[in-house]
């Protein structure tokens, strides 16, 4: 059975968490919380980061290293666990 995707705002309401805007405002005001939030987010698998369209700096380093090794975009996608289209779009941005 496939899980249904829900937005971050829906998830916050469902689990009685603060809304996305509240969390982001708090992160702006509190640098320590912002760092912890980003560290937690960036520890997620690349596929989860890609779905949120917010990839970590480590992702770009890994992608560049694989590209320097001469791997095609399809192999890079398999190695990083993300889609070919995501790799193709991101390679255009860093080129």
Separation between Cα atoms, residue 84 and residue 25, nearest integer Å: 34
Backbone φ and ψ for 81, nearest 5 degrees, come out as 75, 30
Selected residue with higher pLDDT from 14 and 24: 24
* Cα angle 64-75-41, degrees, rounded to a multiple of 5: 55
Task: Show me where the domains of the chain are located.
Answer: 1-43, 45-95
Mean pLDDT (whole number) for 59-82: 94
Lowest mean pLDDT among 9-23, 44-58, 73-87: 9-23
Separation between Cα atoms, residue 20 and residue 25, nearest integer Å: 9
19-28 burial, b if ≥16 CB within 10 A, otherwise e?
Answer: eeeebeeebe
Q: Read off the pTM.
A: 0.69
């Amino acid at each position: 059975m496939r899980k249904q995707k829900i937005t971050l705002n829906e998830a916050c309401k469902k689990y009685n968490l603060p809304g996305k805007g509240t969390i982001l405002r708090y992160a702006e005001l509190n640098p320590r919380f912002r760092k912890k939030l980003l560290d937690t987010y960036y520890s997620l698998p690349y596929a989860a980061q890609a779905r949120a369209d917010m990839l970590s700096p480590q992702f770009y380093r890994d992608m560049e290293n694989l590209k320097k090794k001469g791997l095609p975009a399809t192999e890079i996608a398999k190695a990083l666990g993300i889609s070919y289209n995501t790799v193709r779009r991101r390679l255009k941005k860093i080129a």
